[in-house]
Amino acid sequence: MAYDRKLIRNGNGWAMTLNSTMLELLDVDPKVNKVRYTIENDTLKITKSPKMITEEEET
């Protein structure tokens, strides 16, 4: 499955949003789960991280 997404301006950098379909496919709840970005060669992979969001990070 492939998606073409537009990047959005975020301060001095750029960001990509993950819509609800992508979050469901990754089984990610953005309130409790982190995601992991991995770059291999010229490919960006986004996967569900084994790490959870801590209370300090919620605010």
**Which pLDDT value is given to residue 59?**
59
> Could you tell me the CA-to-CA distances from 25 to 6, 10, 22, 38, 57 in Å, in that order?
19, 25, 5, 17, 24
Task: Give domain status of residue 54, yes or no.
Answer: yes
Tell me if 2 is assigned to some domain.
Answer: no
pTM for the model stands at 0.78
Check residue 11 and give its pLDDT: 96
Contacts of 18 (CB under 8 A, 6+ apart): 26, 28, 30, 35, 46
pLDDT the model gives residue 58: 75
In a domain, 21, yes or no: yes
Give the count of domains, the chain.
1
CA angle 12, 56, 17 (to 5 degrees): 40
Q: 13 lies in which domain range?
A: 8-58
Domain membership of residue 1 (yes or no) is: no
Residue 16: per-residue pLDDT:
94
Over residues 29-59, the pLDDT tens digits come to 999 999 999 999 999 999 999 999 998 887 5
Contacts 24+ apart (CB under 8 A), 40-46: 46/18
